[in-house]
Structure 1
Amino acid sequence: MQTQKLDDSVLVKSYIEGNERSLEILILRHKQRVFSFIYSKVQDRDVAEDIFQDTFVKIINTLKLGKYNEEGKFLPWSMRIAHNLIIDYFRKGNRMPTFQNTDEFDIFSVLGDPTGNVESHMIKDQIHSDVRKLVEQLPEDQKEVLKMRIFGEMSFKEISEQTSVSINTALGRMRYALINLRKLIDQNKIILTNQ
């Protein structure tokens, strides 16, 4: 029988029974979808590769421990593991920035809650996607600073060096980026919570 055409559940069972080739087929079958999902969130190929590897290490460990149940189906289950690892990545090292100034607010903190059901995760993914689209509408200098700060995790000192402007100018651009982003969110009636 051709293993390539077997259903995911059959391949999972086969792998659990000791057939390593079954896992290889599962990885090849779903690699593009899982990797693309991870990359769409982290926007960095190296980080995406690391999280992708971690996802499959976790999948292997869970399967070997016999803790996988067939309810979830293999691909959605794999995506959930990847999603949780992405959240862990953003949480580590405060990649989900928090602005203390009252004029600034943390749009991205609404994306970091790993608890909740599939629906709340889908809503958060949609919010993330909407916010990223709005970021693209900002003036170029504001967009550049915001992306470096939020997605590139750069300090304002690093941003000022890379953009050849003073730290105060970088801070000002970030402040205006957040103010303009807030206006765009209001104009587009985007709700940043799923309550």
Structure 2
Amino acid sequence: MKSHLQKTDHELIHLFMDGEMDALECLVVRHKDKLYTSILFLVKDKYLAEDIFQDVLIKIIDTIRSGRYTEEGKFLPWAMRIAHNLCVDHFRKVKRTPSIKTGTDQQDIFDVLNFTEESADVKIMKRQSHDRVRRLLDLLPEDQKEVIILRHYAELSFKEIASLTNCSINTALGRMRYGLINLRKMMIEKSIAL
């Protein structure tokens, strides 16, 4: 695996296609943080993000093994597009799923019941400033929030963001600009310092 660390994504993909499993492991380790963080910010649930991340890996492996991977030199944007599409698919599926309502106040039963308790490591990892940014991001319009997440957490270029979100580069830049302006305004209004 050490010899694979200096190889490009393209080289690692070809090594994996030739049967070297270490090449795939190196590729996954190289990009897992960006992929997982982007998924987590979109779905806002650690366990769901882990499930979707696994689905992304399965789809990547299946596509490469079948010889359908064609975006040479652009592995991360391609993988991010898969992750984004799987998140969108999840939300579409959730919209179609009927919800179970409680008696009088008509709340969704799964919003009322608490099935899991956060583990100690999750509590430790949540720093105050990280939580503040996440709360502020949640207050932004979806299109602005998505661009900020893809730019700052997934480190995608505006060209890649535009392709992923099916908009022009200027629209992506505008969403980023207005998103940052709105974040600054909210920080001033709420007297929040990071």
Q: TM-score, normalised by structure 2?
A: 0.52
Quote how far apart the aligned CAs of 1:46 are: 0.7
Aligned to 2:95: 94
Contact map agreement 2:10 2:72 (CA 8 A) in 1: no
- The separation in 2 between residues aligned to 1:43 and 1:125, in whole angstroms, is 24
2:8 aligned with 1:7, yes or no? yes
Aligned to 2:44: 43
Based on CA coordinates, which of the two structures has the bigger radius of gyration? 1
Aligned to 2:56: 55
- The separation in 1 between residues aligned to 2:173 and 2:52, in whole angstroms, is 17
Contact map agreement 2:71 2:78 (CA 8 A) in 1: no
Q: Note the residue ranges of structure 2 that are not aligned, 5 or more in a row.
A: 97-140, 146-161, 188-194
- The separation in 2 between residues aligned to 1:34 and 1:125, in whole angstroms, is 21
Q: How does 1:109-128 map to 2 (within 5 A)?
A: 117-118=163-164, 120=166
Q: Deviations over 1:51-104 (max 9, x none)?
A: 110000000000011000134611111000001001001111218xxxxxxxxx
Q: Note the residue ranges of structure 1 that are not aligned, 5 or more in a row.
A: 96-106, 138-195
Count of residue pairs the alignment pairs up: 124
Quote how far apart the aligned CAs of 1:120 are: 2.6
Q: Deviations over 1:7-34 (max 9, x none)?
A: 1100000001110110000000000010
From the superposition, tell whether residues 38 and 117 of structure 1 become closer, same or farther in structure 2 (CA, over 3 Å): same
2:9 aligned with 1:22, yes or no? no
Amino acid at match of 1:118: L
From the superposition, tell whether residues 126 and 19 of structure 1 become closer, same or farther in structure 2 (CA, over 3 Å): farther
- The separation in 1 between residues aligned to 2:70 and 2:41, in whole angstroms, is 28
Aligned to 2:80: 79
Quote how far apart the aligned CAs of 1:43 are: 1.1
What secondary structure does 2:5 align onto? helix
Q: Deviations over 1:36-56 (max 9, x none)?
A: 111111111111111110000
Report which structure shows greater RCO (CA 8 Å, sep ≥6). Answer: 2
- The separation in 1 between residues aligned to 2:5 and 2:32, in whole angstroms, is 14
- The separation in 1 between residues aligned to 2:73 and 2:87, in whole angstroms, is 19
Overall identity of the aligned pairs, in %: 38
What secondary structure does 2:68 align onto? coil
Quote how far apart the aligned CAs of 1:125 are: 11
- The separation in 1 between residues aligned to 2:17 and 2:64, in whole angstroms, is 6
From the superposition, tell whether residues 125 and 81 of structure 1 become closer, same or farther in structure 2 (CA, over 3 Å): farther
Q: TM-score, normalised by structure 1?
A: 0.52
